[in-house]
Amino acid sequence: MIKRVLKSINSLAFPISVWRKRITFRIGLIITTAILLAGAAGGLLPLIYGWDIGFRIVGESFQPPSLGHVFGTDDLGRDMFIRILMGTSRALAQTTIVIVLSLFIGLFVGAITAYYKGFVEKALLYVTELFLAIPSILLALVFVILFGRGALTVSLALVVSWWSWYGRFAYLQARAVRDLDFIVLAEHYGLPGIYIIFRHIVPNIMSPIFIQALTDAGSVVIELATINFLIGVGTTSIEEPDWGLMLGYGVRYIFNYWWIPLLPGLFIVLMALGFALIGDSLYEEMHPQLKRRWKLWF
Amino acid sequence: MGITLNYVVKRIVFSTAIVLGISIITYVFIYLAPGDPAYVWAGRPRGPLASEAIAKARVELGLDQPIYVQFSLHVFRFFSGNWGLSIRFKQSVFSLVMRNFASTLELLLVSFTISIPIGLLLGIYSSLYRGSRIDAAINSLSIVLSNTPRFWIGLAMLLAFTSLNIPTYGRISDNFRGELIERIGLYLVDSLLQGRLDIFLDVFIRIIPPALALSLYPIGAIARVTRISLSEALQEEFVREAVSLGLPRNIVVYGYALRGLIPSLVQAIGLFFSYSLIEAMAVEYVFGREGLGNLLVKAIPANDFPLVTAALVIVALVYVVTNTVADIVQALINPRVTM
């Protein structure tokens, strides 16, 4: 038990040192924490005040931001603050589904591709390349026609095309450790391949891929927002509190009531930026040749 | 050279296999999806003529035949460009998608003409001064640029230009629409072929704002890739050697260090190009230009399955082609590359 606690403290040492050194990491972490808190609040609101809290008409339409309604009200008189909070928890949930599932699939497919040489490697590389070629947003549209509208359909469509990124990345990483002594020894010892993959290969290739996934979370948010901004197929009705939908629907009010389209857009940008800043500063710290303050020889 | 040719042939065979795989995936979508494929293919019809439309779709898809006949029919139709009839527009999907694809491609080409030099320059300067304030500023800028939604920037630009009374909405002014003769579908080239400078200027002014909005992501991404790879290259032995020989800095950086990076940069730019295709659709829609994006926005409410599948296939094909070309360029420049 004590050993485990010590180990977890030890694993925190790296982020803490990055926190000390990099202002981008600090900004990113603060933004992301704020987004996470907003998401938690958005998830709790319907539990406390009833499921229709985001749809309730609370006052006059088109009220500018004030103390009563922090982000103002929209065209129907619904509170923008509550709707944006609920949109945050929605976006976070969708992003988590996409990133976690595709990371899981990609990591193991990549490790298996690199471990088993020969036909398995060729076949899995082919499959990975095939799914890399398929554009995620258009796949989402196809899924929507086949399985109906909704957040889950769009998220799963993104997973189907997104995992291939991590598959390729994990393959490249795993190929570098595949022929190292500890893998070959384990193989000669007679351990089953699946055990070697789980116990020895995956833990050794995980951290760069995790960082990549952290950076990608922002791109997932943007893709989801793009789909809903264009066509709104990631929602079942136009009432739903989704950032992309609120932005796309509110565009018509941009000249007179700026807060209706601007605030959801701002949250999309903030979330994308927060994850990207964290991922980028971790990447830089792991690659010392990038950070060295180093006069060129000329 | 023999090895390279071998590699080129191998690469092309592999890409053909990928295209075949894409056709198989579209087959899976159409035939193995839940529900009646003919019903989906006919666009979920309702009303008195629905059963007739479904029966027609059934014959068209060959659903009454055994599965291997269906499959070979599908692959044959896929490769002969017969991708069905659009439900929303009642036209051949292939010609519809191709015509609109030219517009998207034009936008994308202009935006990459803008973004490649800027991105490269930012990346080179960033890696020459890395660890300094310039590097930090450029790096933060590129993160912000590559993580802002493009349609959002496009919207802001549309508003700004419209309030300045500069025409940006649409692809070409309505007055010129009848006068332009379409030859290859890229209006910039078509107007010049026709010798009409006024049309060219109109099209050019209208294409610049969306192209700028679209070029932000590639600028940031190319700057990042250049920065990372050039920083690594500058620490190599041959650069140290070149410096110790007393060569001037520009020759060392551009002639030696950067030359070795051309293959990987070509590959990265090819990747960004094919991924920007999707973003181009969103930006197009914002600016009201014809193109794949506007086509899809109109097609989705009608459940236009053939059209959406065709758009997916086109984008996937662009990915395969750019990737193949980039790989072959890489092999030509660097013969050590093998499968």
Q: Do B143 and A135 touch (CB under 8 A)?
A: no
- Output the domain CATH number for residue B120: 1.10.3720.10
Q: Do B131 and A291 touch (CB under 8 A)?
A: yes
Is residue B323 one of the residues assigned to a domain?
no
Is residue B225 one of the residues assigned to a domain?
yes
Please write the tens of the pLDDT for every residue from A83-111. Answer: 899 999 999 999 999 999 999 999 999 99
Q: What's the half-sphere exposure (Cβ side, CA atoms, 13 Å) at B289?
A: 36
CA geometry: angle B189, B194, B197, nearest 5 deg: 75
pLDDT at A168 over 80: yes
DSSP assignment letter at B65: S
| Interface list for B 14-33 with A (CB within 8 A) | 14, 17-18, 21-22, 25, 29, 33
Q: Do B316 and A229 touch (CB under 8 A)?
A: no
* Euclidean distance between CA atoms A173 and A194, whole angstroms: 17
Report the gap between the CA of B199 and the closest CA in chain A (Å).
30
Q: Which residues contact A201 (CB under 8 A, 6 or more apart)?
A: A111, A114, A115, A174, A177, A178, A183
Q: Do A126 and B159 touch (CB under 8 A)?
A: no
Give pairs for B5-11: CB < 8 Å, separation 24+: B7/B328, B7/B331, B7/B337, B7/B338, B7/B339, B8/B328, B8/B331, B10/B339, B11/B324, B11/B327, B11/B328, B11/B331, B11/B339
Residue B226 in contact with partner chain A when CB distance is under 8 A: no
In contact, A87 and A246? CB cutoff 8 Å:
yes
To which H or E segment does residue B92 belong? none
For residue A22, give the chain B residue with the closest CA: B136
Task: Return the amino acid letter for B301.
Answer: P
Rounded average pLDDT over A195-207: 88
Is residue B275 one of the residues assigned to a domain?
yes
Helix, coil or strand: residue B51: helix
Which domains are delineated in chain A? 43-286 (1.10.3720.10)
Report the gap between the CA of A11 and the closest CA in chain B (Å).
26
Q: Tell me phi and psi for residue B85, to 5 degrees.
A: -110, 135
pLDDT at A297: 52
Give me the residue label for tokens 């339409």: A61
Q: Tell me phi and psi for residue A56, to 5 degrees.
A: -75, 140
pLDDT at B336: 65
pLDDT at A298 over 50: no
To which H or E segment does residue B253 belong? none
The three-state (H, E, C) secondary structure of chain A, written as one string: CHHHHHHHHHHHHHHHHHHHHCHHHHHHHHHHHHHHHHHHHHHHHHHHHCHHHHCCECCCCCCCCCCCCCCCECCCCEEHHHHHHHHHHHHHHHHHHHHHHHHHHHHHHHHHHHHCCCHHHHHHHHHHHHHHHCCHHHHHHHHHHHHCCCHHHHHHHHHHHHHHHHHHHHHHHHHHHHCCHHHHHHHHCCCCHHHHHHHHHHHHHHHHHHHHHHHHHHHHHHHHHHHHHHCCCCCCCCCCCCHHHHHHHHHHHCCCCCHHHHHHHHHHHHHHHHHHHHHHHHHHHHCHHHHCCCCCCC
Residue of A141, A242, A273, A295 to mutate for B, most B C-beta atoms under 10 A: A141
Is residue B332 one of the residues assigned to a domain?
no
Q: Do B131 and A292 touch (CB under 8 A)?
A: yes
pLDDT at A102: 94
Give the number of domains in chain B. Answer: 1
Residue A291 in contact with partner chain B when CB distance is under 8 A: yes
Chain CA centroid to CA B4, Å: 27
* Domain residue limits at B186: 94-298
Is residue B113 one of the residues assigned to a domain?
yes
Distances (CA, A) of A61 to A86, A257, A273, B95: 20, 10, 31, 46
**B163 C-beta neighbours (distance < 10 Å), count:** 9
Across the interface, which of A130, A292, A293 has its CB nearest the CB of B18?
Answer: A130
Residue pLDDT tens, chain B, 339 long: 556 677 888 888 999 999 989 888 888 887 766 677 777 777 777 777 777 777 777 777 777 777 788 788 888 888 887 787 787 788 888 888 888 888 899 999 999 999 999 999 999 988 888 777 888 889 889 988 888 888 888 888 888 888 888 877 878 777 777 777 777 778 778 878 877 788 888 888 888 889 999 999 999 999 999 988 888 888 888 888 888 888 888 888 888 888 888 888 888 898 888 888 888 888 888 888 888 888 888 888 877 888 888 888 888 998 899 888 888 887 777 766 554
Burial class of residue B75, CB neighbours in 10 A (0-12, 13-18, 19+): middle
Residues from chain B that touch A138, judged by Cβ atoms under 8 A, are 278, 296, 308, 311-312, 315
pTM listed for this prediction: 0.85
pLDDT at B223: 93
Residues from chain B that touch A253, judged by Cβ atoms under 8 A, are none
pLDDT at B38: 77
Is residue B7 one of the residues assigned to a domain?
no
The answer to whether the Cα torsion of B226, A276, A83, A59 is positive or negative is negative
Is residue B283 one of the residues assigned to a domain?
yes
Residues from chain A that touch B243, judged by Cβ atoms under 8 A, are 297-298
Is residue B82 one of the residues assigned to a domain?
no
Residues from chain B that touch A290, judged by Cβ atoms under 8 A, are 130, 227-228, 231
Determine what percent of chain B falls in helix, strand and coil, rounding each to the nearest 5: 75, 0, 25
